[in-house]
Structure 1
Amino acid sequence: MMKYLYTITLLFSLALNAQTAGDVGKISLSVVMPDNIENLDSSQLSRLESKISQIVTHAGISASGYDNSIVIYPKLSLVESNVVEGGMQNLTVVSVDFGLFVKQIEGNILFSSISKTLKGSGATKELAYANAISRIGVNDAEYQAFLEKSKTKIIQYYESKCSDIVKKADVLAKTQQYEQAIGLLLSVPEAATCYDQVQTKSIEVYKILQKQNCAKQLQLANNSLAAKDYGNTLDLLSAIDPASPCFQDSQKMAKSIEAKLNAEEKKEWDFQMRQYNDSVALEKQRISAVKDIAVAYYKSQTSDINYTLIVK
């Protein structure tokens, strides 16, 4: 009987790398690693994590999740261990089952998995494990096929859930949980056929959020103006969307300080005004803004995941 080399009650920490607006809409897998595995020290765990990340990136997938909802995690289980007697030193030989699993956490949906037997040898069992890990082929065609299958299933999953996601986002927006609503909508990958629909909905929510926040933004701009910090005043005013009810007031305030701007500040403000007057540029600006909001929302969420919740 194979023995799983995990302590079941361990907390898994999410391997979070830099998250940016550029990650939004891309299929990404957050690599989840255990705090420890029997017979592996911290450096070997790090090496295993690096191997998994390389497998993922080789398949053209980001190894750091934007919203951390889809993860890839390993399991190692001992199949066989033997000591071969040698002349000067005995040799430990191990066979280890190495499994990779891609799962959506919230729905506990396993998209795909793969299991391969690794063999390793060394003077100790620990060194034999390290040798087995070193033999993981990051360019292995079977791993790539496994991840391609995962990508297809991920896209199918989101396409089947699009209407539910939009409905849930509507509920969140009605309860003024705008950032969460935007984050949920933009968890849908660009490859899904409904991506344009959820992006449009995210901009609708963004406009509502802007209406809620514009008075506060205008007050901050007033405070900055009182402090004669004209550059910051313009930065604050430029964040007020033309669809907001206080947009005209923001324009009047900007007009009142035009003569006090230096050449660079005036240049930046004129560019911003051209963006507002160009509907295509304005839409791109809104898309960029909602992506920034989504990233900020997910960065604010906890990144610790309990192992038992992943594998059950």
Structure 2
Amino acid sequence: MRITIILIFILFCSFKGISQQKLDDFGRIVLTADYPENKDLPHEARQLLLNKLQQVTSNYGLAGTSIDSRFVITAKINVLSKDLVPGPPAKVSQKIEINFIIADLVNQTIFSNTSISSLGIGTNENQSYIDAFKRIDFKNVKLKELIEEGKNKIISYYLTNCDFILKEALIDTKQGRFDKAIYDLSIVPEVCQQCYFKSLDTLAKIYQRKIDTEGLIIFKKANAIWASGLNIESAEQATELLGDIPLNSSAQKEAKQLVKRIEQKLRADQKARWEFKLKQYNDKIALKKESMRIAEEQSKREAIANEKSANRNFELDKMRINSYREVAVTYAKNQPKQITTNRFIFLR
């Protein structure tokens, strides 16, 4: 048992290390660097432009793993002049204007934009673009102002639309779209404190309803399996399912009652086999509780180490919040990707 608990702790820490970056992207403003496929901009030059956009977001702490790609930083390229420079070797000289844009892809709204001109010279058009992009300083004051204005507009969006976001989440919840509701509330940035805390309170209720509903579905399936056989085989199948009910689901009460009914029904000669299966079920529940205890202790140690104290202790709440965000990550990954050409209507 001790070895098993140690393994759980190792797995917990491993998961934390692998997924924490994605989970931490929730609750803060993230700008996704993106640029539409454009036949007028060679692929290699496009990749360098994307890298430059990512440098800008990283420099101002807004880079992320694109869990939510609603808010983007992109660009529109205008060629102001193009000349052929005699050689050898002959070269292409281009003066280009890069219009940097922060926008909302969902509403197709531009939050902020600024233009920077750059001169590029290369042996061909692609190299000319690359040279021009390399000359752009991602610490340019214009880009700083672009980021600040865009960030403020995003904050303003959440403050203005908070009630609508909460209302939509509750509608999704009533219609059984729990994961979508959790996702939409999980991406509210912490910096929008009033809306963030409202979302967090609503998230707790939606998440509980989600695990209650899912737990009840599992229980009903397990109960039906048991009722169809009323023998040791159906008992084993039923308890296997019952072990998948979330620990804090209200269906745990019905699950325990079903386990008792099964135990009372089985004949004496089936008891030994049943007791082994029951031990597996109890061990599964115990391991879930132990995993939760380890996570709580870890959070407490982090809170003490960081000497963080506030009206809400974020370290102690982290495990609960991460449960919501894990649902949101899974939901985001399962969404179909939008067609790129339809994502940038505002650039036309």
What TM-score range do you get, normalising by the shorter chain?
A: 0.7 to 0.9
1:34 alignment partner, SS class = coil
Q: Does the CA contact (< 8 Å) of 1:19 and 1:65 recur in 2?
A: no
Q: Take 2:213 and 2:238, find their aligned partners in 1: how far apart are those partners?
A: 26
The yes-or-no answer on 1:301 pairing with 2:335 is: yes
Q: Quick check: 1:246 aligned with 2:251?
A: yes
1:1-312, aligned counterparts within 5 Å? 20-40=22-42, 42-86=43-87, 88-193=88-193, 194-218=195-219, 226=236, 234=243, 236-237=244-245, 239-241=246-248, 244-250=249-255, 260=279, 268-272=287-291, 274=293, 284-304=318-338, 305=340, 306-311=342-347
- In the alignment, residue 154 of structure 2 is paired with which amino acid? I
The amino acid of 1:309's aligned partner reads I
Secondary structure of the equivalent of 1:82?
strand
Query: Contact (CA 8 Å) 1:217, 1:240: kept in 2 or not?
Result: no
Give 1 or 2 for the bigger CA radius of gyration. Answer: 2
- Give, in whole Å, the separation in 1 of the partners of 2:336 and 2:60: 27
**Structure 1 residues 298 and 105, CA, compared in 2 at 3 Å: closer, same or farther?**
same
1:176-211: CA deviations, max 9, x gaps? 222111111222111102201111111111112222
| Secondary structure at the counterpart of residue 164 of structure 1 | helix
Q: TM-score, normalised by structure 2?
A: 0.70
Secondary structure at the residue paired with 1:189? coil
Identical-pair percentage:
22
Report the CA distance shift for 1:233/1:50 in structure 2 as closer, same or farther (over 3 A).
Answer: farther
CA distance in 1, matches of 2:172, 2:201: 16
> Matched residue of 1:80: which SS?
strand
**With structure 1 as the length reference, what TM-score do the two structures score?**
0.78
CA contact (8 A) 1:225 1:233 kept: no
Q: Which amino acid aligns with 1:72?
A: I
* Residue identity opposite 2:48 in structure 1: R
Structure 2 spans left out of the alignment, 5+ residues: 1-19, 226-233, 264-274, 298-312
Post-superposition shift, 1:259? 7.7
Q: Assess, with a 3 A threshold, how the Cα gap between structure 1 residues 89 and 247 changes in structure 2: closer, same or farther.
A: same
* Structure 1, gaps ≥5 residues long: 1-17
Structure with higher helix content: 2
Closer, same or farther: CA 226–24 of 1 in aligned 2, 3 Å: same
Asked whether the 8 Å contact 2:239–2:278 carries over to 1, the reply is: no
Q: Is the 8 A contact 2:172 2:181 kept in 1?
A: yes
Q: 1:228 to 1:207 in 2, by over 3 A?
A: closer
CA drift at 1:102: 0.9
Provide closer, same or farther for how the CA distance between residues 221 and 55 of structure 1 changes in structure 2, counting only shifts above 3 A: farther
Query: How far apart in 1 are the matches of 2:141 and 2:200?
Result: 34
* Cα contact 2:219–2:242 (8 A) shared by 1: no
